[in-house]
Chains A and B, each alone.
Chain A
Amino acid sequence: MKCIRVLAAGLGLVAMSLGVSYAQETVPIGELEAQTGPLATYGWINHQGVRLAVEQINKAGGFEVAGKRYRLQLFAPDTRGNPQEALIELKQLLEQDHVQYVFGPFLSNVYDGVEAYATQNNGKFLMMGGATSMHAQLGKPGKDYLIRTWNWDGGPTGFGSAMVSYLKRKGVKRVAMLMQNDAAGKVLVDTYAKIFREQGIQLQVEMFEPGTKDFTAVLAKLAEKKPDYLFPGYADAVLYDIIRQATDSHLFTRFFLVRGSLAPCIKNKAAINDCIVYTPKYFKQAEKTEPKVKAFVAAYRAFYKRDFPYDVAPLCSSACYDHVHMLVAAMQKAGTVSDVAKVKAALMSMHYHGVWDISFHDNEEVFGFDVVDMHKGGAISVIHLDPRKPH
């Protein structure tokens, strides 16, 4: 993002003319996300959050580590979701821009493309991103640079089992899962098949080719065994069509979602009996009840001069606003901005209370989240779950 460099330079000039002592050093940080292209939603919101955090920190005069003052300089190239380009951009970040802290990537195929080069540079930088394909590499030898900044469905600190327990408490015996046949869908199927089995709920799975629009046939097929809930695909596009067609054909009235937003349910609320949605944060309510969230929303509005993107904001739980602040806090705790091993150690041992309540477990992020339950007629109840606490 070339305009970032211009903006940073501009701010510097302004600050200098205001007489602020800018004999500061800069800590360059990088962002490696897809900001344009069909899968740009994650990269877009991440960039919004990171940029806001960087501006806030710099505007407050930077931050102090071991007696010296620093400010952040953000380099944010657009990977366009292309692994080849991402590799070139990462090389640029590490070799030309001297970045040691990279936020992203969120997209698995991008991470797969840069993994070899990143591993070659193990020990020289930290990579903090939300990509699913990172999960399997965490903690492996030669992968000390890798930190996954999103929660994971499975495992002891996973949110998946908390979600399924919630379902179990409702007395559910049988669930039908309808997922995209792609990498993310496959991972979800593998993860949840295990969790459902562990909790004693019967699961039937069907996968569809991405791009499918008419699901009536496969829905009819799934409905034959009379499952209690439908567990549909992971993107809002597909969710709307599945839920609409499921309710139109009177096949399903109860839905269980671990990705996507509440919007598809709301649009079809007249025909729905229950819609359970996992969301990192239900901002509409949190804005009123949590002061840090309220401040974040206000800061966003003030800085970007547009309305707060409630529907995609939950994705800012990965390599976003909180994480920049966390990185700075880690540097302060470690007493260094360049010793990445120490910074990582500090990061891993922290429990950060920002917009989210974040800590790391085995190099992977864990945070408290919301379960939004929409009942018949559209009434919404929200409960807050934390995978670190027993459920």
Chain B
Amino acid sequence: MSRNVLAQCALALAAVALPVFVKNDVVLTILVFSFLASILAVSFNLIFGITGQLSMFHAAAFGIGAYATYIAMHDLAVSFWTASALAAAFVVMVSLVIGAICFRFRLKAFYFAVVTLAFAEMARLVVVNWYSVTNGTLGINLSQRPVLAVLGRSITFESTLSWYYLALLALFATILVCGRCVDSWMGRCFAAIRLNDELGDALGINIFRYKLLAFGIGNMLAAFAGALYAYFLGSIQPAYLSVGQSLAIIAMVLLGGQRRVAAPVVGAIFLTLLPHIIDLSAEMRAVVHGAILIFAILLLPKGIVGTVETWVRRRAA
């Protein structure tokens, strides 16, 4: 356990120190995107890997978070931070409603996937058609930048370097939050639900409440990721809510690993980096995504991190 902690600290330090040595804007930009993807992957893993619920709603939470942040900033004239907090709260409310509907009816894992898929599609259709609010299929171009007032000075997040640290900080925060959840009594309930929810129920665990909790927390973090991503790229598009986006997140988690809180980061960084290392055609890359899904399920069920851990443990024994 402590070896793990040491490794994670070392990686964290390396990530913080990296911009001192690497000044290349392109590399830093790619890393910002991978950190944001990692937030999505880690938060999804809380619902899927830890609690065992396959949600197809994650991309929708991501997209709604982005749109809601813009709407809050635009209509209520609040700061980015307030707006994203409001957006996250909104997504939590939506998640509670959807989660309540699904878990109340004791939907088994598979049907939960199909129902969340249906809700995600409905959310996307609403976004696409509600022109007055979301500008529909035309998307929204953002001109504002997040501004942070700290110690009497204000920092505008415009440069890639500033975003690097913001995204990294957000990722640390996400891993911290998820890690605290998993290490607590909450985490034990999540694990019980994953292993056998009916048994957990028989033992007195309120599975309804904990499923809802995992679903809510996971989606809340996805909403924050959506806000950050939108303001970094400068554009919000309905494609954020697409099923394809959800599938990309699933691929990252399956590739990285499901049992450890931070394992999906490996998958996220790998998949974000991939197109810039290997110049595959769009079709080939989608084939690779599909193949990852298949082979991760059949051959590498523990993901990269899990498999490496098992290998290390076997070596040590």
Contact = CB atoms under 8 A, between A and B. Distances in A.
Contact of B234 (A80, A113, A181, A209): A113
B144 to A, nearest CB: 10
A112 B137 contact: no
A36 B287 CA distance: 13
Chain A contact patch, size range: 35 or more
Contacts of B158: 120
A92 interface: yes
Contacts of A96: 24, 26
A34 interface: yes
A7 interface: no
Nearest to B128: A181
Interface stretch (B99-107, B210-218, B278-286, B294-302): B278-286
Contacts of B128: 181-182
A202 B143 CA distance: 39
B26 A92 contact: yes
B115 interface: no
A109 interface: yes
A56 interface: no
Nearest to B159: A120
Interface in B115-149: 125, 128-129, 131, 136-139, 141-143
B29 interface: yes
Interface string A179-221: 0011101110000000000000000000001000000000000
Contacts of B292: none
B22 to A, nearest CB: 14
Interface string A264-308: 000000000000000000000000000000000000000000000
Nearest to B279: A2
Contacts of A38: 282
A80 B140 CA distance: 21
A182 B136 CA distance: 8
Q: Chain A binding site: helix, strand, loop or mixed by DSSP?
A: helix
A113 B285 contact: no
A114 to B, nearest CB: 8
Contact of A78 (B131, B137, B235, B279): B279
A310 interface: no
Contacts of B235: 83, 109, 112-113, 115-116
B237 interface: yes
B275 interface: yes
Contacts of A120: 158
30 contacts: A2-B279, A34-B282, A36-B283, A37-B281, A78-B279, A78-B281, A78-B282, A80-B275, A83-B235, A83-B237, A87-B29, A87-B233, A88-B33, A91-B25, A91-B29, A108-B138, A109-B235, A109-B237, A109-B239, A112-B139, A112-B234, A112-B235, A113-B233, A113-B235, A115-B234, A117-B234, A133-B138, A181-B128, A183-B137, A186-B136
Interface of A: 2, 34-38, 40, 78, 80-85, 87-88, 91-92, 95-96, 108-109, 112-113, 115-117, 120, 133, 181-183, 185-187, 209
7 A-B pairs with the lowest CB-CB distances in the bound complex, closest first: A116-B234, A37-B282, A80-B282, A36-B281, A112-B235, A183-B137, A36-B282
